[in-house]
Chain A
Amino acid sequence: MEAKLRAILPDAELLKMYEQMVLSREFEESCAEQYTKGHITGFLHLYSGQEAVAVGATAALHRDDFILSAYREHAQAIVRGAEPKRVMAELFGKATGICKGKGGSMHLFDPSLSFMGGYAIVGGQFPIACGLAFAAKYRKEGRIAACFFGDGAVNQGTFHESLNWARLWELPVLFICENNSYGIGTSVARASALPDIHRRTCGYDIPSERVYGMDVVAVYEAVKRAAEWVREHNRPYLIEAITYRFRGHSMADPGKYRSLAEVELWKSRDPIPGFAKRLVEEGIATEAQLEGIRQQAQVTVAEAVAFAEESPWPEDGEVWEDIYV
């Protein structure tokens, strides 16, 4: 028997999580459209299907806790507070983008939000998360580093080096694996000797758990407990969230390595309608309210696209800026 939502969070917080998941989905689906039109170019990795992980986890962190992620990070940035229009402008390569159009889809960053970056070399963010956690501990700031990564990253050397390091130096890092079953087209079973990713921390004496990542409240509760444990003990912890991406690895991926039946099964577990149903059943929102949230998200995304379209390109001289200070 599931606990009632109201026993976990106030109505406003629950609705905010719904709103963030819907905004993330609308944003990503709009990105796909803009990519098809040629407005977004380069690599584009979409998050549709995985929203419950970013939204549930971010809601459970403190506002100044560091967040780092990989290259499928639009939703993480927006949920943390990045303006959708500045993220969209970044994807369009415009000067008004969150990184002045220099980073693009894979390298969103905003230190004023403690959003410390999207990294596109698999596993590159692990040591950086440890360094940020070390700085926070050294400066007695009381904040932790939440490091998101995919199931593919756990076979990189940096994963193992960083787990060992974080435990050895007693660093407040919360490792959050978004296990969507595939590293591009290679399934976890074909890449990992031990497919139960959360169990891989035992060699480093780091506690861990698995959570159902299609349930935003389950993610929230697990991350809340884990983050407070990390903060209290100044030690790392790992959460493996089981999730699924509804689209291919990137826009260039037709996804032939997985069956239609598998994709349809996971789409039936879509975290957004599932959460909507609970909100209505428990009397937290009406269908009409939720529809209003969806329409508002569409307006926000349309405004973001318009802003990106109208924004100027970077000046040529910008190419030499920001490399050195």
Chain B
Amino acid sequence: MPDMTYRDALNLALKEELRHDPSVVIWGEDVALYEGSFKVTRGLLAEFGEERVKDTPISENTIVGVAVGAAMGGLRPIAELMTVNFALLAMDQIVNHMAKVSSMFGGQTHLPMVIRAPGGGGSQLAAQHSQSLESYFMHCPGLYVAVPATPADAKGLLKSSIRDNNPVMFLEHELLYNSKGEVSDDPEFLVPLGKAQVKREGTDVTIVAYSRMTILALQAAAELEKEGISCEVVDLRTLSPLDTETFVASVKKTGRAVVVEECWHTAGLGGHIASLIYEGCFDLLQSPVQRVSGLDVPMPYSRKIEKLCIPQPESIVAAVRETMSGKY
């Protein structure tokens, strides 16, 4: 299997699906001629032409809404929001329309569509361009939410999302675009939606993570191994559907859990995951579930203090030590 970046894996997934199905179309701000703000759509206009690869005006709500209509009309649109922060301008179409039309119309239509949106913090882009909004989408019934951590998952999950008949929020992490890993070049390589993956096996504590937080959890686990603490890392891969079974089974085995989320702590998805762990195996827990979260502040610009706002491998290590020493 060739090594490739997360960016190139996404690009390959788009190319393969555009080749695979003529009903797949893609649009967004600067995706065609400019080849994408993060160059994920490089080469698409040249290969597939103006009919299928389309630049749009800066009108996020309509970028999503046109995809809703096109999906209803029989296409498989992929719409790119330049960053997830701009999804806030499209929340009406995402939450009131994309998530609702299937059920409120009694199942008479469905939406095979994907909204791709890069996000996350750590690039010194300050408060309006550094957000992790995954909890917002996970909260809303009717959406699927994919959050790949590795190049292989990026490719496999994007292809599954495009082929799925439900609307998917596909959240890419800006700091992962240059990360490398082995990726299958099989055009039928798919990663199923709704299946978490144990990225590292361990016996003492389970770290539940997603997207870039999985990579940090793996770094923390390697560090903790030196201290003789064996961490199991569960990568959620999709937040909706949420594979509760896999992380609860892991916690049943290890008896301890740390949940890592890049989003804000207050009402963040980590609280929900923790509650599912308590519901699923409270009697087997040896210490309280720990949460490592983004700080509850608008992101500052200065790199010295920006770092304080985003979970780091050290903060995960500290949380694991805490849960190892904690007792019920």
Contacts and interface: CB of A to CB of B under 8 A. Distances in A.
B69 interface: yes
Contacts, number: 137
A194 to B, nearest CB: 21
Contact of A158 (B61, B77, B110, B142): B61
A116 B62 CA distance: 17
Interface stretch (B100-108, B115-123, B222-230, B257-265): B100-108
B61 A98 contact: no
Interface string B71-83: 1111101000000
Given A136-B73, A165-B57, A168-B57, A158 B65 contact: yes
Nearest to A101: B106
24 contacts: A102-B106, A103-B106, A107-B105, A109-B101, A109-B109, A117-B101, A119-B97, A124-B65, A124-B92, A127-B69, A128-B69, A128-B72, A130-B66, A131-B65, A131-B72, A134-B73, A135-B74, A135-B75, A169-B54, A322-B102, A322-B107, A323-B141, A324-B144, A325-B165
Contacts of B69: 116, 127-135, 145
B58 to A, nearest CB: 9
Given A161-B57, A165-B66, A99 B106 contact: yes
B97 A124 contact: yes
B85 interface: no
Nearest to B52: A138
A53 to B, nearest CB: 22
Contacts of A138: 25, 51, 70, 75
Nearest to B69: A131
Nearest to B70: A131
B10 interface: no
Contacts of A127: 61-62, 64-66, 68-69, 93
Interface string A136-165: 101100000100000000000110011011
Interface in B120-175: 141-142, 144, 165-166
A100 interface: yes
Contact of B96 (A116, A124, A133): A124
Given A127-B69, A158-B92, 9 more contacts: A103-B104, A109-B106, A111-B72, A117-B105, A124-B93, A127-B61, A131-B73, A138-B25, A145-B69
A168 B66 CA distance: 13
A121 interface: yes
B65 A130 contact: yes
A107 B103 CA distance: 11
Contacts of B141: 323
- Chain A: interface secondary structure? mixed
A323 B102 contact: yes
- Pairs of residues from A and B, 8 with the lowest C-beta to C-beta distance, nearest first: A131-B69, A127-B65, A135-B73, A322-B107, A99-B106, A109-B105, A128-B69, A100-B106
Given A139-B74, A169-B54, A161 B110 contact: no
Contacts of A109: 101, 105-106, 108-109
A274 B89 CA distance: 46
A110 interface: yes
Nearest to A159: B62
A18 interface: no
A164 B72 CA distance: 21
B92 A121 contact: yes
Contacts of A92: none
A138 B76 CA distance: 12
Contacts of A111: 72, 108-109
B59 interface: yes
Given A128-B68, A164-B57, A325 B62 contact: no
Contacts of B144: 324
B216 interface: no
B207 interface: no
A153 B72 CA distance: 22
A116 B70 CA distance: 12
A161 B65 CA distance: 11
A87 to B, nearest CB: 13
Nearest to B100: A107
B286 interface: no
Contacts of B64: 127
A133 to B, nearest CB: 8
A232 interface: no
A315 B67 CA distance: 32
A157 B67 CA distance: 17
Q: Which residue, A98, A103, A138, A165, has most C-beta atoms of chain B within 10 A? A: A138
Nearest to A321: B107
Contacts of A110: 108
A325 B166 contact: yes
